[in-house]
Chains A and B, each alone.
Chain A
Amino acid sequence: MTAVLQISNLGKTYKSGHRALSGVDLTIDKGEIFALLGPNGAGKTTLIGIVCGIVTPSEGTVTVGGHDHQRDYRAARSMIGLVPQELHTDAFEKVITTVSFSRGLFGKPRDPAFIEQLLRDLSLWDKRNAKILELSGGMKRRVMIAKALSHEPEILFLDEPTAGVDVELRRDMWNMVRGLRDRGVTIILTTHYIEEAEEMADRVGVISKGKLILVEDKDALIKKLGRKTLTLNLSEPLAALPAGLDDWSLEIAGEGHELVYEFDSQAEATGVPSLLRRLSDLGIPFRDLHTRQSSLEEIFVGLVHESKSDGAGAQGATA
């Protein structure tokens, strides 16, 4: 894998004194989908703003495809397409005009065939002569994406792409992102829909209070930090936990019909076989059982909560 974006020791303190980012190191590989997760105000948009040239960093360096993003800004910015979180548009412009404008702004020669294909891919072709103010919010979002893709960038930043977007458009957007990745485009998206990161991302970064507290392969993360839950559907309801099951931290759920056991799936001894043996010894019959891997959401909430409470989230989270 070759790195397409390298961020090192990036920090930003706003004039107000607010420290929005500090000591961020991150390397993005070509062709991956990277999801940056974090609560509101964690520094996601500041990070993107710095890479794209909208926010001036206080310290640190960014290189895009080997080009320093300040010294060699033309080469660096030519590689990047940005879809900001807010729907900033020229309301009175036509769809096709504004998309062609963006291509020109990035120094690319006119290419009506490319623009047509782009608008068709985003289901905007029928609306090409409509003024932007006539479009719905979802369509405006598509126009923003078309503008960002108009100059054939190698890296696409999507800042909260599906905030306030209906389910159907969100599915469309996910399909589009996968299609872009298949063409070799690197995608960095921020989101606070964990479901989105879980669905799309190859790797996940978690940012909290301006610090990147974790970067991990998504599947590995779920495996590593994930806990599993075993649920047993009992034949006869239990009123209370019988003695003899004290060694396992069990809970009764479903009005006594379910016995729930949470365990660390990576541990040497999960405690599952011994629990099942003990249940049979005690004569507690069950009809069915299933296990469930904890979701990225549960992991994320745990991580952010941890970093807020002790500030040593990185060590705590990866331990």
Chain B
Amino acid sequence: MIGNFRGVRAIYAFEMARFGRTFWTSLLLPVITTTLYFVVFGSAIGSRMSAVGDVPYGAFIVPGLMMLTMFTESISNASFGIYMPKWTGTIYEMLSSPMSPLELLIAYVGAAATKSVIIGAIIFATAHLFVDVQVAHPLLMAAFMVLMAVTFCLFGFIIGIWAQSFEQLQVIPLLVVYPLTFLGGAFYSIDMLPAAWRALTLFNPVVYLISGFRWTFFGRGDVGIGVSMGAVAIFLALCLAVIFWVFRTGYRLKN
């Protein structure tokens, strides 16, 4: 399946080096954001909130916080990774190299997903400074993190190929993904909402993703774990289908 392993490694290393140049910012940003969220939601507001189910509010928001940051980071890193060569023109080299589309995808998405998982882990570690979080299903939780990172990086990859300007690169993450995640139960259980809102929220696909991730922590979520897994599978399949079509037609890659 992979014929040009060295090529995959070259792009993967190139992308990781790009992240490495901004290593301290990349590291510091999630730590600071997490701290701010805990100060605001955990201490200021959280102290006045009852526990959600039997989970203390501070611990309850950890999975949502991890997902929120991982979604946005995955999309921005993966979209930027493929958009940059298009913008600078260096894409000519990828297209003229003996790399299969699948290999290009693995290299770019693999590197972006690696960074997302690292950031997720940093947030997880930082959260421990503020609250006591127990993870009911550690292996499933790790698997879910990787799966989410890969899926959203695929989504970001599609945006990076579609985008023809830096503005377009930003528009979907900021106007679609961020609000959907914020309203998708990152910081609350949808059970807390009035019935009408709850019904509406169920149309938000992100609800199922966050719920599933929360399930791996506390053994329960807004919807069943099976439903969550189904939603993840559908999203992943959709992204793969679009990417398959992009590579078949050369959409916005080749003339």
Chain A positions near chain B (C-beta within 8 angstroms)? 14-15, 49, 52-56, 73-75, 77-78, 80, 82, 84, 86, 88-92, 97, 101-109, 147
Given contacts A74-B3, A80-B96, A105-B93, contact A55 B254 (CB under 8 A): yes
Identify which of residues 1-22 in chain B touch chain A, using a CB-to-CB cut-off of 8 Å.
3-7, 9-11, 13-14, 17, 21
CB-nearest residue of chain B to A49:
B255
Q: Is the CB of B90 within 8 A of A89?
A: yes
Please, which residues of chain B bring their CB within 8 A of the CB of A78? 98
Chain B positions near chain A (C-beta within 8 angstroms)? 3-7, 9-11, 13-14, 17, 21, 88-90, 92-100, 250, 254-255
Pairs A-B, 3 closest by C-beta atoms:
A104-B10, A88-B89, A74-B98
Main secondary structure of the interface of B (DSSP, over half): helix
Which listed residue (A52, A53, A75, A108) contacts B6, Cβ 8 A? A108
Given contacts A56-B254, A107-B4, contact A101 B10 (CB under 8 A): yes
Q: Is the CB of B254 within 8 A of A147?
A: no
CB-nearest residue of chain A to B88:
A88
Q: Name which of A53, A55, A80 has the most chain B CB atoms within 10 A of its CB.
A: A53
Given contacts A105-B94, A105-B99, A106-B98, contact A90 B88 (CB under 8 A): yes
Q: Is the CB of A14 within 8 A of B255?
A: yes
Q: Is the CB of B92 within 8 A of A84?
A: yes
Please, which residues of chain A bring their CB within 8 A of the CB of B4? 74, 107
A96 to chain B, nearest CB (A): 13
Q: Name which of B21, B94, B97, B100 has the most chain A CB atoms within 10 A of its CB.
A: B97
Please, which residues of chain A bring their CB within 8 A of the CB of B89? 84, 86, 88
A66 to chain B, nearest CB (A): 16
Please, which residues of chain A bring their CB within 8 A of the CB of B6? 104-105, 107-109
Please, which residues of chain A bring their CB within 8 A of the CB of B3? 74, 107
Please, which residues of chain B bring their CB within 8 A of the CB of A74? 3-4, 98, 100
A-B contact count (CB 8 A): 76
Which listed residue (B90, B93, B98, B250) contacts A107, Cβ 8 A? B98
Given contacts A80-B96, A82-B92, contact A105 B7 (CB under 8 A): yes
Q: Is the CB of B92 within 8 A of A89?
A: no
CB-nearest residue of chain A to B255:
A55
Given contacts A14-B255, A74-B4, A92-B21, contact A147 B9 (CB under 8 A): no
Which listed residue (A89, A105, A107) contacts B88, Cβ 8 A? A89
Please, which residues of chain A bring their CB within 8 A of the CB of B90? 88-90
Please, which residues of chain B bring their CB within 8 A of the CB of A55? 254-255
Please, which residues of chain A bring their CB within 8 A of the CB of B21? 92
Q: How far is B17's CA from A106's CA once the two chains are assembled, in angstroms?
A: 19
Q: Is the CB of A104 within 8 A of B93?
A: no
Please, which residues of chain A bring their CB within 8 A of the CB of B11? 105
Q: Is the CB of B10 within 8 A of A105?
A: yes
Which listed residue (B9, B13, B17, B93) contacts A102, Cβ 8 A? B93
- Given A77-B98, A107-B6, A108-B6: 9 more A-B contacts, CB < 8 Å: A56-B254, A56-B255, A74-B3, A84-B92, A89-B88, A104-B7, A105-B6, A105-B94, A107-B7
Q: How far is B100's CA from A313's CA once the two chains are assembled, in angstroms?
A: 41
Q: Name which of A14, A73, A91 has the most chain B CB atoms within 10 A of its CB.
A: A73
B89 to chain A, nearest CB (A): 3
Please, which residues of chain B bring their CB within 8 A of the CB of A73? 98
Q: Is the CB of B95 within 8 A of A53?
A: yes
A200 to chain B, nearest CB (A): 23
Q: How far is B95's CA from A101's CA once the two chains are assembled, in angstroms?
A: 15
Given contacts A88-B89, A91-B88, A92-B21, contact A105 B255 (CB under 8 A): no
CB-nearest residue of chain A to B250:
A56
CB-nearest residue of chain A to B254:
A56
Q: How far is B9's CA from A80's CA once the two chains are assembled, in angstroms?
A: 21
Q: How far is B98's CA from A75's CA once the two chains are assembled, in angstroms?
A: 7
B220 to chain A, nearest CB (A): 47
Q: Is the CB of B92 within 8 A of A54?
A: yes
CB-nearest residue of chain A to B249:
A56
Q: How far is B61's CA from A9's CA once the two chains are assembled, in angstroms?
A: 63
Q: How far is B87's CA from A89's CA once the two chains are assembled, in angstroms?
A: 11
